Amino acid sequence: MVQIPKTPAPASSAPRSVPTSADVARLAGVSRATVSYVLNNTGAVRISEPTRRRVHEAARELGYVPHAAARSLRAGHSRTVLMPAPAFPVGPLYSRFIGELQWALGRLDYTVVQYGTTGPHGDEAARAWAELRPVAVLVPGSLGPRGVEILRRSGARAVVTFGPEPVEGAHALLMDHETVGHRAARHLHDRGRRRIGVVMPEEDGLEVFSAPRLEGARRAVDGTDATVTGLPLAYEERSAARLAARWRSLGLDAVFAYNDEYAMLLMRALQDEGVAVPAETALIGADDLMLGRLLRPRLSTVRLELPSGRDLAALVDRAVHDPGATPERHEVLGATVVHRESS
Amino acid sequence: MVQIPKTPAPASSAPRSVPTSADVARLAGVSRATVSYVLNNTGAVRISEPTRRRVHEAARELGYVPHAAARSLRAGHSRTVLMPAPAFPVGPLYSRFIGELQWALGRLDYTVVQYGTTGPHGDEAARAWAELRPVAVLVPGSLGPRGVEILRRSGARAVVTFGPEPVEGAHALLMDHETVGHRAARHLHDRGRRRIGVVMPEEDGLEVFSAPRLEGARRAVDGTDATVTGLPLAYEERSAARLAARWRSLGLDAVFAYNDEYAMLLMRALQDEGVAVPAETALIGADDLMLGRLLRPRLSTVRLELPSGRDLAALVDRAVHDPGATPERHEVLGATVVHRESS
DNA sequence: TTGAAAGCGTTACCAG
DNA sequence: CTGGTAACGCTTTCAA
């Protein structure tokens, strides 16, 4: 573990106070109003060129930077889009989506702010977010209807949730993870498999996804002679080895491994145990990560597709312009089976 | 500049204006000051219990949430720690570090805000950050000295950079990636290898890390009879296949693959080409990801250790309390070789 | 073309 | 114990 030593605090030097628009005005020999006009390029008022120059000069010299809080206080609104950091461990897919979204919202002149979700959950968290008076809030995962109400009452013109369930009063980008499990199980069933295992990660924060996926798998084989069995698995070699050791006693001929990473973990363990993939047990993952293509046999997978950041940005912008509109519901999680060699 | 047309704002349902502390005061039949005292639990003043109740009641009824901007305007400072989103693609290591850091800063009562780094870079970006008047700024990657100056002038009591090079006026958590390459190359050299390749990812934003790693590898074999060769490689199977196809013509007997993911990519390609690992070519990655342990042969790697989020949070807190102190410099990137089977 | 002044929501100081 | 009042930095209306 890398240690950063703690040093004692010596006497601090007096910090030069931060320059305000009044300071700029003083230095330029004009009024604060003029400074504001010049720096914001206000169209309605025309300021003489020499004055403009003096103001810009003064601002540069002082290193003046406007105070966002003061500005939005006066304006009565901000262009801050707040997005709580997700509670679940994020993969490359989601990271890319977030990046795209931030970029797109930036183009629309919003300031995207990710709020570090440290302590409280539920309404408590919503209140903390509301203090920042964001114009819109994008919530990965879910949120109670009371949370939505708190945010709206505090001036948020759009609340968008991004999870499995719609919430009263908020726009919803629905990610139906049941479909993922459904697709996987149906694929395995189509390939002639009948006793299907579904990996359930033991890691925290993943039940939100794994439970619906299991449910979807169940639904897929409903009314057939096939069975679906949940298989708890921690993301460690030992856990996988234990599962593999009792594999034959489980009598499964296929497994949906939650995602590609768990699939890789399990595939190794099964192969080490002498279980042939796919001959003895078919295996399918999800996410279509690069690593699946690199395994031998190449891993079948369910490719997930998140909406484009641009589309979500557009939704936000629309909602901000028309806060009263009825909440939109969009099914956004594309799920398609990519058949390779492991199934 | 790309313009996305803004939809015209239709008549929105009249939004009930957001309640202020004045509204609470009115409803509770007290003054705004009293509301403030009650809601902030000010110790110096004691308010009668019935009054307290009335105030709380009124606040709850109105759904009152304090306005952070107004508060910090009045207070003259905030407890916002601003962290621009990193420009490079982040791995699980870094994500975990960020999460830890946010948690730790939360414990110290800071509000962590990740700023979506959309458009401008350099001083322009620093100005945008400065508008939020954060009490501290944590910059992943680098920043010009002028950027630091802008932030300090705008009241940031601590600026911490988190990258390969120290910046004048800012605290620095130095991540010396030369060491990573050095350790890897020395390990390979110790194992008797003499013609060492170093994978250079072609993906954007990674040169910051790959260049020093190559340099470190060079340094490690400096003055010996060994050679070091840079190997451009994109993170795609085809690119890896092309590299593998001309592998024997390169005459290398070892390769440091930048990280475990590139290592896995290259290992597959080499094996498909009939190149034995480690017999013909030794292979070592970096990051010590789970996937390395799952490969056959198991992947040797350079384990990286970032500082604990708690330590960095402590550094921030110290710096905030003592803005005048001379900037701290800490070497924080632990790099140790984990020898497995691929080398 | 420029300046004075009001007000956004809070809190701290000081009278009552 | 409680309540008026001023001030934080900025924008904008109105007046000169």
Is residue B15 in a domain? Answer: no
Closest CA to A254 of A210, A200, A197: A197
- Domain shared by B54 and B31, yes or no: yes
> Is the pLDDT score of B178 beyond 50?
yes
- Nearest residue to C11 (CA, C1')? B74
From chain A, the residues in CB contact with B329 under 8 A are none
Residues A187, A287 share a domain: yes
Tell me, yes or no, whether A211 and A288 share the same domain.
yes
Nearest CA in chain B to A321: B9
Please, are residues A78 and A85 in contact by the beta-carbon 8 Å criterion? no
Mean pLDDT over B68-72 rounds to: 94
Could you read off the pLDDT of A23-80 as tens digits, one per residue?
A: 999 999 999 999 999 999 887 777 888 899 999 999 999 999 999 999 999 999 999 9
pTM for this entry = 0.89
Give the closest residue to C13 (Cα–C1′): B33
Is strand C in 7 Å reach of the CB of A15? no
Contact yes or no for A105 and B116 at CB 8 A = yes
Is B252 part of any domain? yes
Where does the pLDDT of residue B235 fall: very low under 50, low under 70, confident under 90, or very high at 90 and above? Answer: very high
Q: What is the CATH number of the domain that holds A28?
A: 1.10.260.40
The answer on B298 and B214 residing in a single domain is yes
Q: Are A104 and A28 part of one and the same domain?
A: no
Q: Is residue B54 part of a domain?
A: yes
Report CA Rg, chain B: 27
Average pLDDT over residues B50-71: 92
B186 and B169 within one domain: no
Question: What is the per-residue pLDDT for B89?
Answer: 72
Q: Which residue has the tokens 């002082």?
A: A62
**How confident is the model at residue A11, as a pLDDT?**
33
Q: Distance between CA A264 and CA B261 in Å, rounded?
A: 13
Asked whether residue B182 falls in the same domain as residue B301, the answer is: yes
Q: What is the CATH number of the domain that holds B85?
A: 3.40.50.2300
For residue A109, what are the domain limits? 80-174+307-332
Does residue A277 share a domain with residue A158? Answer: no
**Could you tell me the CA-to-CA distances from B201 to B2, B18, B89, B94, B113 in Å, in that order?**
31, 51, 12, 18, 30
The total of structural domains in chain B comes to 3
Q: Return mean pLDDT, chain B.
A: 90
Rounded distance, CA A55 to CA A48, Å? Answer: 11
Residues A194 and A90 placed together within one structural domain of the fold: no
pLDDT in tens, A126-184: 999 999 999 999 998 888 999 999 999 999 999 999 888 899 999 999 999 999 999 99
Nearest chain B CA: its distance from A191 CA (Å) = 27
Asked whether residue B253 is assigned to any structural domain, the reply reads yes
Q: Would you say residue B2 lies in a domain?
A: no
Cα–Cα distance between A12 and B206 in angstroms, integer?
38
Q: Which of A180, A150, A152, A187 is nearest to A164 (CA)?
A: A180
pLDDT at B7: 31
Query: What pLDDT sits at residue A92?
Result: 83
Q: How far is B228 from chain A (nearest CA, A)?
A: 27
Q: Which chain B residues are Cβ-neighbours of A130 within 8 angstroms?
A: 65
Judge whether B261 lies within some domain.
yes
pLDDT of amino acid A120: 67
Mutate to test the interface with B, among A3, A13, A67 (most CBs of B within 10 A): A67
Residue to test with chain A: of B6, B110, B118, most A Cβ within 10 A:
B118
Stretch A298-320: mean pLDDT, rounded? 95
Same domain, yes or no: A271 and A200? yes
Residues A289 and A186 in one domain: yes
A282: in domain: yes
B218 in the same domain as B193: yes
Mutation site, B149, B264, B291, B326, interface A, largest A CB count within 10 A: B291
Tell whether the model's pLDDT for residue B138 goes beyond 60. Answer: yes
Question: Which residues from chain B sit within 8 angstroms of residue A105, using beta carbons?
Answer: 116, 118
* Residue pairs between chains A and B whose CB atoms are closer than 8 Å: 218
Residue A6 lies in a domain: no
CB contact under 8 A, B90 and A85: no
